[in-house]
Amino acid sequence: DTGVSQNPRHKITKRGQNVTFRCDPISEHNRLYWYRQTLGQGPEFLTYFQNEAQLEKSRLLSDRFSAERPKGSFSTLEIQRTEQGDSAMYLCASRSDRGFYNEQFFGPGTRLTVL
Amino acid sequence: AQSVTQLGSHVSVSEGALVLLRCNYSSSVPPYLFWYVQYPNQGLQLLLKYTTGATLVKGINGFEAEFKKSETSFHLTKPSAHMSDAAEYFCAVSGATGTASKLTFGTGTRLQVTL
């Protein structure tokens, strides 16, 4: 068990470009969550998957954001036409239904900087 | 709806002194409560959690927290601070299952430990 991994760890892009992040959850974890953390704030929920089904999306997730989990394993988060306000740390977490009481395991995050 | 309030964005203690980080929550369902720690440029690590049962929960690194339903509080304590405890601490609340399982975080408390 190697933990939750996220790639890339850092991404610098220019405003208007598209970016995609990847999250590999702990194997056999069927639930996967994306959170966004801006400077000086706590993480905020973005979206949530149970297997390949996206069950909830936050109002924070504008139509420029899309997330997928095509085979119920890894997930991608894409931001189209990036804006400076998208600069943040994007965190991924996973958990198992068989695990303890909603214990979510977090990856190291992808830090996005939009110039 | 759920929310978390962490009183004090910065707390400074001397090495060996008591650490007390405050957290109050609001939840429309029986809450699961968590404390996470975040070191610079890293993801979140779970310190401890309350789900059901004993209201005093012990976590890693000597931390503990007490769930007080009447006060809607879940304060984090450690009897004796170490330099290595300097980090950002987040309190979080969730429900048990489904879409209620997303974590709602407070804004965090930065703990500084001085010699």
Q: Verify whether the Cβ–Cβ distance A109 to B43 is below 8 Å.
A: yes
Contacts A–B by Cβ distance under 8 A:
66
Reported as a single tens digit per residue, the pLDDT across B64-105 is 999 999 999 999 999 999 999 999 999 999 887 666 688 999
Interface check for A45 against chain B (CB to CB < 8 A): the answer is yes
Of all residues in chain A, the percent with pLDDT exceeding 70 is 97
Cβ atoms of A43 and B36 closer than 8 Å:
no
Cis peptide before A8 (omega within 30 of 0): yes
Q: CA separation (Å) from B19 to A92, B75, B79? A: 29, 10, 6
Per-residue pLDDT tens digits for A84-107: 999 999 999 999 877 667 789 999
3-class DSSP state for residue B69? helix
Calculate the average pLDDT of chain A: 92
Identify the bridge partners of residue B104 per DSSP, sorted by sequence position. Answer: B93
Check: CB of residue B19 under 8 Å from CB of residue B81: yes
* Nearest chain B alpha carbon to A88: B41
